[in-house]
Structure 1
Amino acid sequence: MGSCNSKNSEDSSLLETLADHTDSINCMTIADDESVLVTGSEDKTARMWTTQDPDGSECLGTLEGHTGYVTTVHVFDTIIITGSSDKTIRKWDMTTCECDFIYSGHTAEVMQVICTGDYIISSAKDKTAKIWIFDTDDLEEGEEEKACIRTFKGHLKTVHPLIYIPSDPEKGEEELVITGSTDHTARLWSIDSGSCLQVYKGHTGSIMTMATDLDARILFTGSTDSTIRSWDIRSSRLLKIFSGHTTPIMCLSVVNKLMYTGDTAGVAKCWAWNFGDCTKEYKGHKHSITCLKFFKGILYTGCGDGDARAFEAKSGLLTKTFKTKESAVVINCLGLCNHKLFTGGRDGKLRVWDITKTDGVECS
C-alpha cells in the first residue's frame, strides 16, 4: 500500500502515520457506522481506510478518476460522493471502488457536497448550489444532464457551506437548504420549488462556516468579519451577534446549548448561545484553528501549527497536545471514532492517535 506506519518518539499516543496519499489531505469523513474513514486529497484521489482493525488502519481502496484535487467527501451507506476542482461530482461504489456516475454542470470548483439519500446537494465557486438525484439508475446514456433537478442562483460570489433541513410533514414544513457565501450572506432555499425563501444579511465578511441548533430553528454563521451571528431560520430575524474574536472565524460547532468556535489567530471559544456569552477560552494554539470537534466532553482542535489538541470542554484545561515530528504540518481536517483521533495534514499523511488518555493530564 506504500504506507509508512511510523511511531513518533515525541508522542507515544501516535499509533500510525499513513503516507499513501502523495499530496495534501484536504478533507475527511467517517461513515455513520464508524467502520470506514474516507479522505480526499490534492493528489486527485480519495481513499478509504479501516477504523476498527486492532492491527491498525489500512487503505481499503483508492478512488481514481478526478482530474483535479478533491475538495469534499461524503459517505452514504455504501456510496461515497466526492467533489473536485475539476467542476464535477462523482458517485462511487465503496465495495468495488468504481465510479458509478459523474455529475457535470458546475462551471467552477465544487466546494462541498452532502447526500440526503434522495438528493446530492453541492456548492461551488460558480456562485450556485445544485440539487442532483441520488439514484441515477433510470437515466439512459445521453441523459446525464437530467441528474440536476435544481440550480439555486442568487449569490454574487462563491457558495461554500451547506446545511440540509429535512421536511416535517406534521408541521407542514418542506425540505430546505441553507447556503453560505463569500458575498457576506446566507440564503434559505426550497428544494421543492427552487425559490429563495430568506436572505440572512448583516455580515461584513465572507461566511466560512455554518451550523444549526438541534431543532433546526436557529442558524449560526461564522464569518471573516470576526463575528458569529444567530438567526431565526424561518424569518431571517437576527437574534444575536457573538463578538470577542478579533480575526476571521474558520470553524464552529453547535452541541446542545453550547457553541464552539475557532479563528485564524488560534483562539477557540465556547459560547452559551442562548445568552450570547463566551463561557470559556481554549488557549495554547500557535496558528489558525482549521477544524474542531466536540467528542465525549473533550474539544479537539486541529491547527496550522501542525498539532492537534484536546481540551476539557467545561474547564478549558488543555489535557493533551498531539505533536507531529515534522515541522510546519498544517492540519486540514480531523475525525474521531473508536477511541482514535484521525488527522489529515498538508503533508499528505493520515495520522492516527490514541485518545484513551486525554483526560486529566495537563500538557506543558
Structure 2
Amino acid sequence: MGNNKSKENEVTDLLETHTDHTDSINCICVADDESVIVTGSEDKTARLWTTKDPKGSECLGTLKGHSGYVTCVHVFDTYVFTGSSDSTIKKWNMTSSECEFTYEGHASRVMRVICTGEYVISSSRDSTAKVWLYDTDDLPEGKKAKACIRTFKGHKKTVHPLIYISADESKGEEDLVITGSTDSTAKLWTLDSGTCLKTYANHKGPVMVMTTDNSGRILFTGSADTTIISWDIATAKQLKVYESHNTEIMCLSVVNKLMYSGDCAGLVKCWVWSMGDITREYRGHKHSVTCLKFYKGILYTGCGDGDVRGFEAKTSALVKTLTTKDSTQVINCMAICNDKLFSCSQDGKMRIWDISKISKIKENETDANKVTEKQENDIKQEETAEDNNFLKNVAEDVQ
C-alpha cells in the first residue's frame, strides 16, 4: 500500500498532501468513531486512511475491483460500501481490504449508497432506488440477485440524493426513505413495503441536494431551478420557497434553526429556515461552491477555484483561506474530524489542513446559529403544530 506525500510549498495550515489516487477524488466518508476516512476516485479505487495518528495520516488499504470509477462511499461498522459507474455496489472488509460481496441489479451508474445496519440503500441513474440485505453471508452461491429485496420505481429520470429516516417503533412509525431525482421531484417511500407515500413536486429543474431538519420532519430540496423548497414530510405540503439564488443550488446544510446554501455563482447564503429570512451571505468565491461544512462556529466552503474558505458563521467574515500554489483544481468533497479538514480535488490529491487554530474563535454552535427572540417564538409555534400532526399523518398514509 502506498503513502505518497508531496510538499507542494510551505503553507502553515497544510499538514499533508497525499497523491496516492491517480485521478479525481469524487467522494469522502468519515467513520462514526472518526478513526478512519474513505475516499473514492475516478481511478476506480477507494482508499482507507488513518486520521488520529500523530505522525500523520497513512493509507491503510486500497479497495480494488470496480471496473468503473467510484461515485460514492459509505462506512458502517467494519465495512465500506462503494458505488460505481459500473452499476454495482461492493461491500469491503476494512481489516483485510477484501471485497466480501458485490451487489448487482442496477442498470446504470450508482449515484449514492447508505447503510442502515440492516439494509443497504442505493440510488442510480437507471431511475430507481434499491434496498439490499446488509447481511449477505447466508445467500447461496450464484444467488446474488436475492440480495435485492426492494426496488423503488416511480421516478422518470436519475435518482441521486437519498435520505433515510429511522423509525421509532414505540410510536408506531416505519422506516422511511426519501429519494430526489432529476425529474424535478422527490418521493417518500416506506422501506419495508416499498410503497410510495408522497411525491414532492413543485420544482422546475432537477433536485440536486436534499436534507432535513434535526427532527426529520421537514424536508429541504435544492434544485437546478435556483430555488430551495421546504416540505412537511408527512403531508407533502409545501411550506416555503426560498428564492434568492440566481443559479443552481449545489450544496445544502441545516444546522439547528439555520440553513446554509451554496450555488454555482459562488454565493453562500444563511437562512432562518422556518421564517424564510436571509441573515447572512458569504462572499469571495471565484467559482461554484461545491460543498460546505459547519464546524465549531466556522462555515467551511469548498470551491471550484481550488480553495477552501473558513467564514465566521455568525458574522460572515472570512477568517481563513486554505490554499496552495497549485490548488487550482475543483474541490469535489471535504470532511472534518479531529480538528483536521480533508479536502479532495479533481487533481487526485487529498490535502489535510490543521483547523484547530481557526476553530478557537470563541463561537459555539448555539451562538453561531442564534435567531432573534421574535423569530424563536414564531418557530416554537410552528414546531408545536408540526409535532401534533406528524405522527397522525404518517400513520394514515401507511394504513
CA–CA distance in structure 1, aligned partners of residues 325 and 356 of structure 2 = 21
Give the aligned partner of residue 143 of structure 2. Answer: 143
Letter in 2 for 1:51: T
CA–CA distance in structure 2, aligned partners of residues 330 and 94 of structure 1 = 29
Moved more, 2-11 or 77-86: 2-11
Give the aligned partner of residue 23 of structure 1. Answer: 23
CA–CA distance in structure 2, aligned partners of residues 173 and 293 of structure 1 = 31
1:344–1:212: structure 2 CA closer, same or farther, 3 Å change rule?
same
CA–CA distance in structure 1, aligned partners of residues 197 and 133 of structure 2 = 22
Aligned positions, number:
361
Question: Are residue 310 (structure 1) and residue 341 (structure 2) matched?
Answer: no
Moved more, 41-50 or 8-17: 8-17
Give the aligned partner of residue 53 of structure 2. Answer: 53
Give the aligned partner of residue 134 of structure 1. Answer: 134
Cα shift at 1:328: 2.6
For the 8 Å contact 1:3–1:17, the answer to whether it is kept is no
CA-to-partner distance for each residue in 1:209-241, whole Å, 9 max, x for gaps?
000111111000000011110000010000000
1:57–1:360: structure 2 CA closer, same or farther, 3 Å change rule?
closer
TM-score by length of structure 2 reads: 0.89
Give the aligned partner of residue 338 of structure 1. Answer: 338
CA–CA distance in structure 2, aligned partners of residues 220 and 304 of structure 1 = 24
Give the aligned partner of residue 247 of structure 1. Answer: 247
Give the aligned partner of residue 5 of structure 1. Answer: 5
Cα shift at 1:67: 0.3
For the 8 Å contact 1:266–1:289, the answer to whether it is kept is yes
Say what the alpha-carbon RMSD is for the aligned residues: 1.2
CA–CA distance in structure 2, aligned partners of residues 311 and 83 of structure 1 = 33
Cα shift at 1:313: 0.6
Letter in 2 for 1:286: K
Question: Are residue 269 (structure 1) and residue 269 (structure 2) matched?
Answer: yes
TM-score by length of structure 1 reads: 0.97
Cα shift at 1:172: 1.4
Give the aligned partner of residue 41 of structure 2. Answer: 41
Aligned-partner SS, 2:358: coil
For the 8 Å contact 1:81–1:90, the answer to whether it is kept is yes
CA–CA distance in structure 1, aligned partners of residues 139 and 271 of structure 2 = 48
Aligned-partner SS, 1:146: helix
Aligned-partner SS, 2:178: strand
Cα shift at 1:181: 0.2
Cα shift at 1:8: 4.4
Instruction: Write the mapping of 1:273-292 to structure 2, written as runs, cut at 5 A.
Output: 273-292=273-292
CA–CA distance in structure 1, aligned partners of residues 140 and 74 of structure 2 = 25
More strand by share: 1
Letter in 1 for 2:163: I
Give the aligned partner of residue 204 of structure 2. Answer: 204
Instruction: Write the mapping of 1:74-153 to structure 2, written as runs, cut at 5 A.
Output: 74-153=74-153
Letter in 1 for 2:95: T
CA–CA distance in structure 2, aligned partners of residues 168 and 31 of structure 1 = 24
Gaps of 5+ in 1: none
Letter in 1 for 2:74: H
CA-to-partner distance for each residue in 1:152-207, whole Å, 9 max, x for gaps?
00000000000001111222110100000000000000111111100001000100
CA–CA distance in structure 1, aligned partners of residues 220 and 193 of structure 2 = 24
Cα shift at 1:9: 3.4
CA–CA distance in structure 1, aligned partners of residues 259 and 29 of structure 2 = 21
CA-to-partner distance for each residue in 1:118-176, whole Å, 9 max, x for gaps?
00000000000000010001101011111000000000000000000111122211010
Aligned-partner SS, 1:152: strand
Aligned-partner SS, 1:54: coil
CA–CA distance in structure 2, aligned partners of residues 323 and 304 of structure 1 = 12
Moved more, 322-331 or 295-304: 322-331
More helix by share: 2
For the 8 Å contact 2:114–2:122, the answer to whether it is kept is yes
Aligned-partner SS, 1:145: helix
CA–CA distance in structure 1, aligned partners of residues 70 and 25 of structure 2 = 9
Letter in 2 for 1:358: I
CA–CA distance in structure 1, aligned partners of residues 27 and 313 of structure 2 = 24
CA–CA distance in structure 2, aligned partners of residues 290 and 264 of structure 1 = 8
Letter in 1 for 2:131: I
- Sequence identity (%): 66
Give the aligned partner of residue 65 of structure 2. Answer: 65
Give the aligned partner of residue 232 of structure 1. Answer: 232
Give the aligned partner of residue 297 of structure 1. Answer: 297
Letter in 1 for 2:329: V
For the 8 Å contact 2:49–2:60, the answer to whether it is kept is yes
For the 8 Å contact 1:10–1:323, the answer to whether it is kept is no
Gaps of 5+ in 2: 362-399
For the 8 Å contact 1:319–1:359, the answer to whether it is kept is no
Letter in 1 for 2:92: W
Moved more, 3-12 or 165-174: 3-12
Give the aligned partner of residue 223 of structure 1. Answer: 223
CA-to-partner distance for each residue in 1:7-48, whole Å, 9 max, x for gaps?
343631111110000000000000000000100000000000
For the 8 Å contact 1:105–1:145, the answer to whether it is kept is yes
Aligned-partner SS, 1:336: strand
Moved more, 185-194 or 319-328: 319-328
CA-to-partner distance for each residue in 1:299-357, whole Å, 9 max, x for gaps?
11100000001111111011100002215311000000111000001000010001012
Letter in 1 for 2:245: H
Cα shift at 1:2: 4.5
